[in-house]
Amino acid sequence: MMAMTVEFGHYALVLALVLSLVQSFVPVYGALKGDARLMAVAGPVSGMLFLLVGLSFAALTSAYLASDFSVQNVYENSHSLKPLLYKITGVWGNHEGSMLLWVLILVFFAALVAAFGRSMPEALRAAALGVQGWVTSAFLLFILITSNPFLRLQPAPAEGQDLNPILQDVGLAIHPPLLYLGYVGFSITFSFAVAALILGRIDAAWARWVRPWALLAWMFLTLGIAMGSYWAYYELGWGGWWFWDPVENASFMPWLAGTALLHSALVMEKRNALKIWTILLAILTFSLSLLGTFLVRSGVLTSVHAFATDPARGVFILAILCVFIGGSLTLYAWRAPMLKQGGLFAPVSREGALVLNNLLLTAACAAVFVGTLYPLALEAIADDKISVGPPFFNLTFGPLMIPLLIAVPFGPYLAWKRGDLLAVAQRLWIAFGIAILAVLVTAWLSGAERILAAPAVGLAVWVIAGSVSEILSRARFRDVGIATGMRRLAGLPRSAWGTALGHMGLGITALGIVVTSAFQAEAIRSVQPDDNFELSGYELIFKGVAPRRGANFTEEVAHFDVYAGGAKVSELEPTKRLYTARRMPTTESAIATFGFSQLYVSIGEVREDGGVDLRAYYKPLVTLIWLGTLVMAAGGAVSLSDRRLRVGAPKRARQQAAPAE
């Protein structure tokens, strides 16, 4: 019997499209008419859609594993000699496969809502799953019409064209799935927002049901962006960890909007306020995800003109973009005036602080938006290619972060409804003292030439110390003693821990960014074997270059011994690789980690005489950038595990009106 896995996967995908059309109409109509039988369809069909797209994805993966070059997508992006891991990751290392992963995650979130969203009103759940069905059918149609990964080749070529070598890295295994879990995850909050607008019922309970989903998506997005940043850092060989590249911005914008959403949903839930704004944020966050997908997938970034010459894909996504963003905003404009706004509140209060947070985050998001899209618009209209580089973002995004970081420690201290800024300031004096100390130490260490470094370090330390002091003050060690204090600390709501960890992570990341930007040391030179040079107290000795052979590449390995204080502390082997199938060279940098700091070496061409050109960096505290994001995501996870947020779990005691004071 002949195996037909590939065609089975193709059929499952087509079936998923047709079924998602049913999903788009039946439950939504049921929700509008209050017909429980029609609404009941939403859950099982969501599960079925996940199963179908999952089968389809599995079929494509098996074609990759078997090197089935009769599948055009496998032929174009795989090679029989490729290591197993990259055969698997190659599935989403290309346009068609990555869109399939996109849809898989879309239906995955719908299935999660179907499985765990039983505590919410049936109509909201059914309508939200229906809206999710709209997005799913639009993207399935896009895949089948313009980007079908199941197209076949007959006769089958003998060997594949291999995956782009830059993508042959563990980074590809982790980064896109995390990133997609993040920004496709926000589709759920979008669907809930649109469903609420359709049903015309938006209240505090809505925020309570939706917030865990936003939190889940936000966690993945945080990790995905951080992973992408670290990947670019070690793979591209330039030692940079953020480039303000449009592709990066495409994922960063939903993150900023999503972070704002998390905070405003808190106000909506607790104070029944900011409802209109929160709904808008939910719509905007996913709209920015769609925009990012359009930017990355349409080819518009390479060149507006390249996009115009092969417009099928781009125009299709653009149409999806217009229908969903335009449609949801129209619905919003129609329904929003009907919403009754909640109570007013004082500017100095928890909700006031959260509004400030939202203002700054959305302004920052707008800055990134302009910096990303302006060059594209200009190229399209004036045929003028400009690039908006880091200076633009440093001047717009940077200044917005300063008040944000100053304000962060105040937020959790402030009471709901009416806060006392002076009282909060008094409680923060220890944190403030630590920050000042950090400024002084930095200034003393760095001297006068990096005058901005000291206050920047102080600001980062302020955020970290502020969040630590907040969680400690909740335990009231001074009033109740160590033992009771510890018990109180353990008994604090997980959401309080989540807040503290989230803010602390932000501070840690900021510290890493500030220190590595201000105090990084760099050496660009060419060396002969047995040359040595010094960088920030480390002595590097170049031992020469030797060839090495990998599974599907050959490489020239440069060997460096690293000495500190006369003792050998590490060895570095940066390489220059040539991937045989595509004849494409890549640079593999070598990194040695000392504490939180890193020594980073990458080489250029190897010369005839055995010498190499190299660039070496010492990056102090650079790993804090990514460790901070891990702490942030951990904060999200802790907050998500709070029992009151755990969807479907029995509800339990929580503070309603004020934090424990």
Partner 1 sequence: MIIWIVFAILTAIAALSVLVPMARERARDGEQPSHDAQVYRAQLGEIDKDLERGLIDDESAEAARAEIARRLIAAAKASEDNAKDRAGSSRAIRLAQLAAIVFVPLATIGLYLELGTPNLPDQPLAQRLAAKPTQQDLPLLVARVENHLADNPQDGTGWDVLAPVYMRMGRVAEAATAYRNAIRILGPTVERQSNLGEALTMANQGIVSADARAAFERAVEIDARAVKPRFFLALALGQEGKNDEAAAAWRSILDEAQGNEPWIQAALSELEKVGGELPQKFARSGPSAGDVAAAGQMSEAERTQMIEGMVAGLDERLRSQGGDAEEWVRLIRAYSVLGRQDKAAKTYEFAASSFEGDPASMEKLEAVRQALDIAPAGSAGDAPAKPE
- Write out the binding residues for partner 1, residues 150-169 only, by CB under 8 A: 150, 152, 154-159
Judged by CB under 8 A, the residue of 272, 396, 536, 570 near partner 1 is 272
Question: Shortest CA distance to 406 belongs to which of 473, 330, 460?
Answer: 460
- Using CB under 8 A, which of the segments 2-10, 88-96, 99-107, 302-310 binds partner 1? 2-10
With left for phi above 0 and alpha for psi between -120 and 50, is residue 481 left, alpha or beta? left
Judged by CB under 8 A, the residue of 58, 88, 144, 356 near partner 1 is 144
Site membership for partner 1, residue 2 (CB under 8 A): yes
Closest contact distance (angstroms) between CB of 379 and partner 1 is: 35
Site membership for partner 1, residue 470 (CB under 8 A): no
Closest contact distance (angstroms) between CB of 60 and partner 1 is: 12
Helices and strands: H and E segment counts in the chain: 23, 10
Asked whether 615 and 523 are in contact (CB, 8 A), the reply is: yes
| Helix 275-297 vs helix 95-116: crossing angle, to nearest 10 | 150
Whole-number Å distance between alpha carbons of 558 and 587: 11
Closer residue to partner 1, CB minimum distance, 209 or 324: 209
Asked whether 304 and 318 are in contact (CB, 8 A), the reply is: no
Site membership for partner 1, residue 70 (CB under 8 A): yes
Cβ partners under 8 Å of residue 33, min gap 6: none
| Alpha carbon separation from 10 to 17, 66, 316, 505, 522 (Å, rounded) | 11, 17, 21, 43, 52
Closer residue to partner 1, CB minimum distance, 17 or 276: 17
Closest contact distance (angstroms) between CB of 99 and partner 1 is: 15
Judged by CB under 8 A, the residue of 54, 58, 81, 564 near partner 1 is 81
- Using CB under 8 A, which of the segments 148-156, 312-320, 534-542, 594-602 binds partner 1? 148-156
Closest contact distance (angstroms) between CB of 626 and partner 1 is: 36
Report the run of H or E that residue 611 belongs to, with start and end. Answer: none
Closest contact distance (angstroms) between CB of 433 and partner 1 is: 29
Site membership for partner 1, residue 451 (CB under 8 A): no
Judged by CB under 8 A, the residue of 28, 60, 61, 67 near partner 1 is 67
Closer residue to partner 1, CB minimum distance, 149 or 620: 149
Closest contact distance (angstroms) between CB of 120 and partner 1 is: 6
Kindly state the tokens that stand for 592: 């040695």
| Alpha carbon separation from 256 to 122, 221, 222, 335 (Å, rounded) | 31, 10, 10, 25
Binding-site size for partner 1 (CB under 8 A) equals 77
Closest contact distance (angstroms) between CB of 333 and partner 1 is: 23
Closest contact distance (angstroms) between CB of 258 and partner 1 is: 23
Closest contact distance (angstroms) between CB of 551 and partner 1 is: 11
Site membership for partner 1, residue 305 (CB under 8 A): no
Site membership for partner 1, residue 35 (CB under 8 A): yes
Judged by CB under 8 A, the residue of 58, 112, 148, 240 near partner 1 is 148
Residue 343: alpha-carbon gap to chain centroid? 34
Task: Check residue 607 and report its DSSP letter.
Answer: P
The DSSP line for 276-315 is HHHHHHHHHHHHHHHHHHHHHHSSTTT-HHHHHHS-HHHH
Closest contact distance (angstroms) between CB of 32 and partner 1 is: 10
Judged by CB under 8 A, the residue of 66, 115, 564, 578 near partner 1 is 66
Question: Shortest CA distance to 172 belongs to which of 232, 107, 124, 108?
Answer: 232
Asked whether 547 and 555 are in contact (CB, 8 A), the reply is: yes
x-or-dash pattern for partner 1, window 3-22, by CB under 8 A?
A: xxxxxx-xxx-xx-xxx-xx
C-alpha angle 510/590/296, rounded to 5°?
60
For residues 95-134, which are near partner 1 according to CB under 8 A?
119-123
* Alpha carbons within 13 A on the beta-carbon side of 91: 24
Kindly state the tokens that stand for 255: 């993150």
Whole-number Å distance between alpha carbons of 575 and 573: 6
The DSSP line for 354-401 is HHHHHHHHHHHHHHHHHHHHHHHHHHHHH-------HHHHHHHHHHHH
Closer residue to partner 1, CB minimum distance, 5 or 641: 5
Closest contact distance (angstroms) between CB of 483 and partner 1 is: 18
Whole-number Å distance between alpha carbons of 634 and 499: 10
Lookup result for tokens 């060419």? 526
For residues 192-221, which are near partner 1 according to CB under 8 A?
201, 203-205, 208
- Using CB under 8 A, which of the segments 45-53, 246-254, 320-328, 476-484 binds partner 1? 45-53
Closest contact distance (angstroms) between CB of 123 and partner 1 is: 8
Site membership for partner 1, residue 563 (CB under 8 A): no
Closer residue to partner 1, CB minimum distance, 273 or 325: 273
Closer residue to partner 1, CB minimum distance, 263 or 271: 271
Closest contact distance (angstroms) between CB of 599 and partner 1 is: 35
Question: Shortest CA distance to 629 belongs to which of 532, 501, 487, 539?
Answer: 501
Closer residue to partner 1, CB minimum distance, 7 or 310: 7
For residues 598-657, which are near partner 1 according to CB under 8 A?
644, 651-657
Closer residue to partner 1, CB minimum distance, 203 or 561: 203
Closer residue to partner 1, CB minimum distance, 497 or 618: 497
Q: Which residues are registered as beta bridge partners of 539? A: 534, 563
Closest contact distance (angstroms) between CB of 502 and partner 1 is: 22
Asked whether 161 and 581 are in contact (CB, 8 A), the reply is: yes
Closer residue to partner 1, CB minimum distance, 14 or 521: 14
